[in-house]
Amino acid sequence: MPGIGESTAGAIMSIAYQKSYPILDANVKRVLSRYSSINEQSTSKRDKQLWEISREVTPMTGIFEYTQGIMDLGSMVCKPKDPSCNFCPLNQICSSAFKTKEPLKAAKVLKIKPVKDINFTLAYTKNDFLLFKRNEKTFWDHRVVTF
């Protein structure tokens, strides 16, 4: 069906109909890549390998729990950055357990914006305000605003 890829079809079949179909959404790809240490650079080759693994690990029974579980695992535990291997049920058999910590990044240097106090006189008449439009040297250039 247009718009329904293999992974979506697998999710529909496994979650809605409890049929044993594999899925491979972004979260499941991450879990299976780490679980099996897939480092293939070519996206098409990597996806082919991951589909094979997904088919191998997809159970014949308990498919709803498996599908929902591996998607949740990918989104909440095996996160893109800093996976929580301590809480992962796969941490005894996963090839990447406790190895995928992001290197610490240097703390961002906060740019402090200068604060300027200004005083101004608002010249006005009953119908007009005299304003200065901002340019490079001053905050406002002169301009008359009429109400």
Residue ranges binding ligand SF4 (CB under 6 A): 31, 34-35, 77-78, 83-85, 88, 90-91, 94, 96-97, 100
Nearest approach, Cβ of residue 51 and ligand SF4 (Å): 18
Nearest approach, Cβ of residue 18 and ligand SF4 (Å): 24
Nearer to ligand SF4, 72 or 128 (CB): 72
Nearer to ligand SF4, 10 or 74 (CB): 74
Nearer to ligand SF4, 50 or 88 (CB): 88
The DSSP-derived string for 4-57 is: --HHHHHHIIIIIS--------HHHHHHHHHHHT---SSHHHHHHHHHHHHHHH
**Alpha-carbon span 48 to 45, nearest angstrom:** 5
Nearer to ligand SF4, 68 or 84 (CB): 84
Nearest approach, Cβ of residue 9 and ligand SF4 (Å): 24
Number of helices and strands in the chain (H, E):
4, 3
**Alpha-carbon span 6 to 87, nearest angstrom:** 30
**Alpha-carbon span 22 to 66, nearest angstrom:** 10
Nearest approach, Cβ of residue 10 and ligand SF4 (Å): 19
